[in-house]
Structure 1
Amino acid sequence: MRLLRALAAGAAALLIAGCGGSGDDGGDGPSPDAKGPSESAPGGQALPASLTGQKLDWGRCAADESGRAPGGDWECARLRVPRDYAEPEGAQLRIALIRARSTSGAKQRVGSLLFNFGGPGGSGLKMLPALSGEYERLRGRYDLVSFDPRGVAASEGVRCRGDRALQAAESVDATPDTAAEERAFLRDAADFGKGCAREDSALLPHLSTAETARDLDLMRQVLGDRKLSYFGISYGTELGGTYAHLFPQRVGRLVLDAVVDPTADSVGHARNQARGFQRALEDYLRSTGEDPKKGTARIAGLLSRLDQKPLRGDGDRKLNQTLATTGIAVTLYSKSNWPVLTEALQAAGDGDGGPLLRLADNYNGRDESGRYDTQSHSQRAISCRDAKDRPTAAEAKRRGAEFRRLSPVFGDFLNWDTAGWCHEWPVPGTRATPEVAAPGAAPVLVVGNTGDPATPYEGARKMADELGEGVGVLLTWKGQGHGAYGSGSTCVDGAVDGYLLRGEAPKDGKVCAG
């Protein structure tokens, strides 16, 4: 789902702020299989020593497409992984890694702490340096490591359309009201998938979350860790849960923050988000002193008018209903962005669509020169390889009234997204919902935020339950925004730090007040 696939820790913050018991010993000590064949995961084959024993050539990081490269202590390398784990000695992919070494001595160092910031499609090579200040305490005992997953950015990233075509597609109505708009919506969805197939046909069948979880385990081995220490945020929680299911005995200290509901299919995720974003919008409206019901009606009215007559934006670009919905949604990822939403809504009410348009551009990965990043391409390629269900337009129309009741502002957008996101996708999905049950694994810390719009709190409870008794440890924060760690709660940060730095999991069910 499009909104679900936003980066978690700071997707909006980066964009806009600039405008218990004891766990096991984590990952310390060399991996026993770092030099030889690995134990296979269920459904996989043992990997050859040429992969598990490879030496990473760490060096200066290259510049990204914008010409920027992380400086300071950051170093980069590439890891060779099988394109197809069923044929581990066949074709290979190269996964881009980034690292900042631990600031402590060898005796204090736990090992490597791997991060995935969400998406899918988020670039760890960009996000970890940008957010590293939040993790400085963790660097005291860990090498901080992140990566661009297979099919993402520097790791042979998927690209399905050029910039001009992406901008042109923004005029397609994502909440069609007529037969002509519906045909244009579905044709655009199908054309996007065809573009991916033209450019990356050999890669598309090998972009599942399960394959990325196997990549994580190969990283663990090559980095020299006995067990995986991991911090997953948003979609990164789905990846972490999948890893725990495939490799329960190799789970070290895993933190899952802003948790995806592992029991929900595509329509279930859309329902969750309709509730979550509406809940966050009403919390925002209360903070301004406006009645949530009246405020919701006011914003829904603005979107309805934009559906008929877009506003002037920047240059010759217009703010339409779809872009305005995206711009509103992205501000709800962090409470610190609520004042930005107030200003943007006021501007739109005065006939200026520029502020909401720029917010939508931030989410859509469009820079001021009109260039787009490839996150949306990777999001779609990975999520459509994962999800087996293919909801139809007819089903979306039947669900319309239900979704509008859930959210008069976001319901239509999320409902229609279920029908368009994987429409006529060129490869089938692999499963209905992710498998995360991890019997026998060490405790996994699951952090839920009661005010999270994109991954509502209920998903954290379900993840903890699905991981299994004695495995999922639920930590609740009564806060706002997408994610909890680093959001200003000393209670949350202290509990997570205690778990990662000392192996001390909080008591299951611990609650931190806002």
Structure 2
Amino acid sequence: MTTYSNRALLLVLCATAVATSLTAATAPTARAAPAKSGTFVPALTWRPCALPGGPAGQECADLPVPLDYADPAGPQLTLAVSRLRSDRPGARRGTLIVIPGGPGGAGVQRLTQKGAALQKEMAGAYDLVGLDPRGTGGSTRANCGLDEDDRYMTSLRSWPEPGGDITENVARSRRTAEACARNGGAVLRSFTTANEVRDIDRFRQALGEEKLSAWGVSYGTYVGAVYAQKYPQQTDRWVLDSSGDPDPTRVARGWLANMSQAADDRFGDFAAWASDPAREAKGLRLARRAEDVRPLFLSVAAELDREPKATTTAAVALTGNRLRQALQSALYSDASFEQTVRLVLAAQDPAATPVLPADLANPLPDQDAAVMVAVICNDVRWPASVSSYRRAVAADRVRHPLTAGMPADITPCAFWKDAPAEKPTTITSEGPSDILMIQNLRDPATPYFGALKMREALGDRARLVTVDHGGHGVYLGNGNVCGTGKVTEFLTTGARPAEDVYCAD
């Protein structure tokens, strides 16, 4: 479910957070009291790090964690962490961690973006904290050493060639896996969901908290679910916002595959917007009827497959796959619809030069690409048969032409050199009943039918708030008063619906 929108990978770092060299071994210099397990955890030295546009009073610190938890006294990595203290100490009841999406999202950035709004909703009930997972933001990072051409979103997402050929996808996936094996080292191999969960618990101990509350979004819901499975007695009030199917045999691979149907489910919202007479005044109406928008879009993409169009970005043409990726990204939020409509119109106009969104015009930094690939490949073994991917793409592109076979295509994980260090966690109904899920009905990244699998796995531990809305991310994201109210009430008072509930848009 890569947050998520791929724009989340364009990280805004905490001003004072410094990325540690991947070869560095940082030894903690200060120790807090021993944890109940008998291990020692580091003390946190907080410093101001508020950014323009972010909440006042934001603080940052560095958290040393073991490279390998099986060797806790061995080499250490450094994680950037951040905090917003409760602005009403008398109302404070604990600490709430925001768990970012991704893989590739950064918690410090997330806290900067959402901290002020979350403070307002929480009315002082919590100190708010965030953590940059390994490989992201201001935490220890790693490189794969990928060529620039292999770091565009249309490369990291394996879009088949026109007609469905995946030969280049296979070559690129092999090349990427080999580069990561050659250059990433032990640090890259440590980028896993299991280690993020352990790091969150190390952070909890360093904060001196018996329990944490949490708000996890997108991939962060999977991290949150695994934490709740591994450390159930350390969870207080747990919110999972936009969840995927937790099936341990298809972690990440299943999330990607589900995006084919998810795009179809969400496209109707885009078509309605792009055919609305209200678009006429700004010249943004693609068609008179909503049902005509889909064939129009597919026709324009097919024409770009045959003849890509030069853009305002030198040497980066608008291809059919770049247009499809632009749509896939735009489906995350209604606010992105206009940009994609303008791209379709520019593709049709012989006199226009299309302007690509930044995340399509530029390659990702190597370190961002590395973590995006490494986590999904380190977590679970993927099928290695190239012929099976060819068959899957051929079938998927017929059923779901909007995504043209991409969600079923091969990835570097098919050629990953190291087997997963441990098995993915099975999410079960065992544990305290303290989880609230919230989900859009038409989510293009973590579709509703996948979230129902998470709801089923959690059983009576969870309640589900279903919001009749499109897009990715619900709480403090789409303005639905009912959904926002249910989450805020749960986090601030502990009151949770007695059964699953539905919120109209």
Instruction: Confirm or deny a common fold (TM above 0.5).
Output: yes
Name 1:117's counterpart in structure 2.
Answer: 100
Secondary structure at the aligned position of 1:318 is classed as coil
Contact map agreement 2:152 2:360 (CA 8 A) in 1: no
How far residue 267 of structure 1 moved from its aligned partner, in angstroms, is: 4.7
Quickly say closer, same or farther: Cα 1:62–1:375, change in 2 above 3 A.
Answer: farther
2:202 paired with 1:218: yes
How far residue 93 of structure 1 moved from its aligned partner, in angstroms, is: 1.3
- Of 380-389 and 302-311, deviating more is 302-311
Name 1:250's counterpart in structure 2.
Answer: 234
1:7 maps to amino acid: Y
Name 1:147's counterpart in structure 2.
Answer: 131
Task: Give the whole-Å Cα distance in 2 for the aligned partners of 1:380 and 1:359.
Answer: 20
1:410 maps to amino acid: T
How far residue 412 of structure 1 moved from its aligned partner, in angstroms, is: 1.3
Secondary structure at the aligned position of 1:242 is classed as helix
2:13 paired with 1:6: no
Unmatched tracts of structure 2, length 5 or more: 13-31, 276-286
How far residue 120 of structure 1 moved from its aligned partner, in angstroms, is: 0.9
Quickly say closer, same or farther: Cα 1:406–1:165, change in 2 above 3 A.
Answer: closer
Aligned with residue 160 of structure 2, among 171, 175, 182:
175
Aligned with residue 301 of structure 2, among 292, 300, 303:
303
2:275 paired with 1:282: no
Superposed CA offset, 1:3-33 (max 9, x none):
x213369859999xxxxxxxxxxxxxxxxxx
Quickly say closer, same or farther: Cα 1:411–1:202, change in 2 above 3 A.
Answer: same
Contact map agreement 2:62 2:80 (CA 8 A) in 1: yes
2:385 paired with 1:399: no
Contact map agreement 1:388 1:431 (CA 8 A) in 2: no
Name 1:378's counterpart in structure 2.
Answer: 371
Quickly say closer, same or farther: Cα 1:443–1:405, change in 2 above 3 A.
Answer: farther
Superposed CA offset, 1:189-220 (max 9, x none):
22222332333211133221011111111111
1:57 maps to amino acid: T
Aligned with residue 227 of structure 1, among 190, 197, 211:
211
Contact map agreement 2:442 2:469 (CA 8 A) in 1: yes
Secondary structure at the aligned position of 2:473 is classed as coil
Contact map agreement 1:163 1:372 (CA 8 A) in 2: no
How far residue 346 of structure 1 moved from its aligned partner, in angstroms, is: 1.1
Name 1:447's counterpart in structure 2.
Answer: 438
Q: Which has the higher contact order (CA 8 A, sep 6+)?
A: 1
Quickly say closer, same or farther: Cα 1:505–1:9, change in 2 above 3 A.
Answer: farther
Superposed CA offset, 1:476-511 (max 9, x none):
111111011121111111110111111111232111
Task: Give the whole-Å Cα distance in 2 for the aligned partners of 1:62 and 1:501.
Answer: 25
Unmatched tracts of structure 1, length 5 or more: 16-33, 40-46
Task: Give the whole-Å Cα distance in 2 for the aligned partners of 1:6 and 1:489.
Answer: 20
How far residue 312 of structure 1 moved from its aligned partner, in angstroms, is: 0.7
Secondary structure at the aligned position of 2:108 is classed as helix
How far residue 76 of structure 1 moved from its aligned partner, in angstroms, is: 0.6
Name 1:260's counterpart in structure 2.
Answer: 244
How far residue 256 of structure 1 moved from its aligned partner, in angstroms, is: 0.3
2:33 paired with 1:35: yes
Aligned with residue 493 of structure 1, among 484, 487, 491:
484
Quickly say closer, same or farther: Cα 1:499–1:94, change in 2 above 3 A.
Answer: same
Aligned with residue 469 of structure 2, among 465, 479, 502:
479
2:305 paired with 1:319: no
| Equivalent residue runs for 1:45-194 within 5 Å | 48-49=39-40, 51=41, 54-61=42-49, 72-105=56-89, 107-136=90-119, 137-138=121-122, 140-161=124-145, 164-166=148-150, 174-176=159-161, 182-194=166-178
Identical residues among aligned pairs (%): 29
Task: Give the whole-Å Cα distance in 2 for the aligned partners of 1:82 and 1:12.
Answer: 25
Contact map agreement 2:189 2:374 (CA 8 A) in 1: no
Contact map agreement 2:134 2:141 (CA 8 A) in 1: yes
Secondary structure at the aligned position of 2:402 is classed as coil
Contact map agreement 2:191 2:378 (CA 8 A) in 1: yes
Contact map agreement 2:8 2:105 (CA 8 A) in 1: no
Task: Give the whole-Å Cα distance in 1 for the aligned partners of 2:265 and 2:412.
Answer: 24
- Of 166-175 and 335-344, deviating more is 166-175
2:382 paired with 1:414: no
Task: Give the whole-Å Cα distance in 2 for the aligned partners of 1:186 and 1:13.
Answer: 26
How far residue 278 of structure 1 moved from its aligned partner, in angstroms, is: 1.4
Contact map agreement 1:209 1:382 (CA 8 A) in 2: yes
Quickly say closer, same or farther: Cα 1:432–1:296, change in 2 above 3 A.
Answer: farther
How many pairs are equivalent? Answer: 468
Quickly say closer, same or farther: Cα 1:316–1:176, change in 2 above 3 A.
Answer: closer
Length-normalised TM-score, structure 1: 0.83
How far residue 83 of structure 1 moved from its aligned partner, in angstroms, is: 1.3
- Of 279-288 and 226-235, deviating more is 279-288
Name 2:458's counterpart in structure 1.
Answer: 467
Secondary structure at the aligned position of 2:378 is classed as helix
How far residue 309 of structure 1 moved from its aligned partner, in angstroms, is: 2.0
Contact map agreement 1:186 1:423 (CA 8 A) in 2: no
Superposed CA offset, 1:418-463 (max 9, x none):
x124131232235776422251224201111101110001222221
Name 1:44's counterpart in structure 2.
Answer: none
Name 2:380's counterpart in structure 1.
Answer: 387
Q: RMSD value over aligned CA atoms?
A: 3.1
Contact map agreement 1:120 1:378 (CA 8 A) in 2: yes
Quickly say closer, same or farther: Cα 1:162–1:424, change in 2 above 3 A.
Answer: closer
Contact map agreement 1:158 1:374 (CA 8 A) in 2: yes
Contact map agreement 1:98 1:145 (CA 8 A) in 2: yes
Task: Give the whole-Å Cα distance in 1 for the aligned partners of 2:44 and 2:54.
Answer: 19
Superposed CA offset, 1:255-292 (max 9, x none):
00011111271553233211111111122113333555
Contact map agreement 1:111 1:142 (CA 8 A) in 2: yes
Quickly say closer, same or farther: Cα 1:383–1:276, change in 2 above 3 A.
Answer: same
Task: Give the whole-Å Cα distance in 2 for the aligned partners of 1:373 and 1:104.
Answer: 42
Task: Give the whole-Å Cα distance in 2 for the aligned partners of 1:202 and 1:14.
Answer: 23
Contact map agreement 1:12 1:330 (CA 8 A) in 2: no
Structure 1 stretches of at least 4 aligned residues deviating more than 4 Å after TM superposition:
8-15, 68-71, 165-173, 290-293, 430-434
